């Protein structure tokens, strides 16, 4: 007999979510399928061409997969920076690899400059009605910007800050509940998020970009997420063009 784990669980392996034992779609998966990213194709083509020029003896497969390798390397670095950032914001000691020191140094300076006060860090959330789950980076207070109001901050180590992050933060902020990893069955209420930001962590430093400047704008971004969710679901459905309608029976008069 299979035992179903009640509650919301984040599975590190495969980066997936289950709610009461059933697979739940992630916020990032919905956004990937619901918001077009037209820049990805020319980016991949450019990276492949650059690799081919820099490596004249490369095989076709090496050239073709060069953008994937670059993306995966960036993903590994981003995960490492996120893990270190989570410990730092709680004041825990960390060992920083030399290659990540510029990222971490800038992040620490950002925390000090904006007097960041953590409220909730790296929690898993879900929305039962819409059937999604996700894991946000941090809910914090920024006394110099938003006083005591809780705000959502997403950490990015990518080359840029992209528009879908607005919808991503809104989805986390408007989720039904969050859970603690050691008690996935207890649904806890999120604080009412009043604004959202991206902390863009780069080797040159960390910059704070506003996404939703107030609660009203955050709810507008959630509407965008709802539309992306509908497009994502449409893409999953087995929609097809139906068979043609038969011509109606028509009696033709013989020509006189």
Nearest Cα residue to 197 out of 207, 187, 189, 188:
207
Give the burial string for 194-206 (b: 16+ CB within 10 Å, else e). bbbbbbbbbeeeb
Between the alpha carbon of residue 205 and those of residues 105, 106, 139, the distances in Å are 7, 4, 21
Distance between CA 225 and CA 116 in Å, rounded?
27
**Tokens 């971490």, residue located:** 104
Q: Report pLDDT digits (tens) over 106-116.
A: 999 999 999 99
Between these two residues, 204 and 80, which has the higher pLDDT value? 204
Residue 106's pLDDT is 92
- Two tokens at 81? 């920076």
Coil, strand or helix at 29:
helix
Across 41-55, 87-101, 189-203, the highest mean pLDDT is recorded for 189-203
Nearest Cα residue to 170 out of 212, 137, 115:
212
Q: What is the mean pLDDT of the chain?
A: 87
- Domains defined along the chain, listed by start: 8-34+80-235 (3.90.320)
DSSP 98: G
Q: Which residues make Cβ contacts (< 8 Å) with residue 135, sequence separation at least 6? A: 10, 122, 123, 124, 125
Nearest Cα residue to 178 out of 243, 233, 133:
133
Q: Report pLDDT digits (tens) over 71-101.
A: 556 666 767 887 888 888 878 888 888 888 9
Whether residue 10 has pLDDT greater than 90: yes
Residue 1's pLDDT is 42
Q: Report pLDDT digits (tens) over 148-167.
A: 999 999 999 888 888 899 99
Whether residue 248 has pLDDT greater than 90: no
pTM for this model (two decimals): 0.82
Q: Percent of the chain, pLDDT > 90? A: 55
Q: Where are the alpha helices (DSSP H) in the chain?
A: 27-34, 40-54, 60-89, 101-113, 143-146, 164-173, 215-236
DSSP 96: -
């Amino acid at each position: 007999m299979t035992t179903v784990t009640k509650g919301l669980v984040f599975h590190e392996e495969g980066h997936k979510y289950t709610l009461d034992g059933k697979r739940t779609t992630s916020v990032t998966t919905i956004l990937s399928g619901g918001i077009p990213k037209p820049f990805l194709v020319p980016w991949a083509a450019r990276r492949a061409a650059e690799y081919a020029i820099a490596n004249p003896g490369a095989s076709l497969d090496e050239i073709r997969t060069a953008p994937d390798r670059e993306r995966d390397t960036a993903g590994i670095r981003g995960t490492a920076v996120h893990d270190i950032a989570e410990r730092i914001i709680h004041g825990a000691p960390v060992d920083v690899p030399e290659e990540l020191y510029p990222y971490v140094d800038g992040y620490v300076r950002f925390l000090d400059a904006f007097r960041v006060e953590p409220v909730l860090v790296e929690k898993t959330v879900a929305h039962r009605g819409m059937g999604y789950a996700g894991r946000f980076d941090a809910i914090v207070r920024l006394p110099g910007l938003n006083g005591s109001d809780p705000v959502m901050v997403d950490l990015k180590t990518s080359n840029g800050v992209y528009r879908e992050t607005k919808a991503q933060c809104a989805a986390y902020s408007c989720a039904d509940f969050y859970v603690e990893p050691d008690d996935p069955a207890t649904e806890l209420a999120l604080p009412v998020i009043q604004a959202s930001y991206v902390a863009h962590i780069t080797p040159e430093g960390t910059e704070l970009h506003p996404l939703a400047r107030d609660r009203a704008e955050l709810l507008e971004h959630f509407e965008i997420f709802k539309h992306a969710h509908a497009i994502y679901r449409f893409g999953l459905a087995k929609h097809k063009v139906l068979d043609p309608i038969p011509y109606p029976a028509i009696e033709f008069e013989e020509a006189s």
